[in-house]
Amino acid sequence: MFAGIDHVGVAVEDLDAALELYAGRYAMETAHRETVEDQGVEAILLDVGDSHVELLRPLGPDSPVGKFLASKGPGLHHVAYRVGDVAAELERLRGAGVRLIDRAPRTGIRDSRVAFLHPAATGGVLTELVQPAQGVH
């Protein structure tokens, strides 16, 4: 079951410039900043109630977010739903015929367990499932 929207991912070319909007003018609190080598990004999480905005800067042009920026420019990149057990959700969705990018969960930002569904199966919306680490929301 999807328990809520964990975060909305936004592709940016310059994190500090993006922070001027999100932390500056929107006055959101920065919750976390991390380089996630596995996903080829430097990411910043900002608090929005129980949810977050995840700003994503690619580490290189050949990373998934780098390719996204090159073809589409900065903007909305993905939606992430919070789940209690990402492995169980993947099995359930695979059984329901949903095409997956990740057949097994991997480690995401803040030691979360994450998996991506294929946008061809989700009406063009790149969709992430997030199981937060214990004690993190």
Interface residues with Co ion (CB under 5 A) are: 9, 54, 80, 128
The CB-of-41 to Co ion minimum distance in angstroms stands at 9
Give the helix/strand (H/E) hosting 94.
helix 86-95
CB of 109 to Co ion, least distance (A): 7
Residue 21 CB, shortest distance to Co ion, in Å, is 19
Triad 136, 35, 111: Cα angle to 5°: 25
- Distance, CA of 63 to CA of 90 (rounded, Å): 24
- Comparing CB distances to Co ion, the nearer of 19 and 82 is 82
What is the distance between the alpha carbons of residues 81 and 35, in angstroms, rounded to a whole number?
A: 21
Strand partners, 117: 100, 127
Residue with smaller CB distance to Co ion, 38 or 97: 38
- In this chain, which residue has its C-beta nearest to Co ion? 9
Q: Which is nearer to Co ion, 72 or 97 (CB)?
A: 72
Strands 51-58 and 4-11: parallel
42 vs 128, beta carbon nearer Co ion: 128
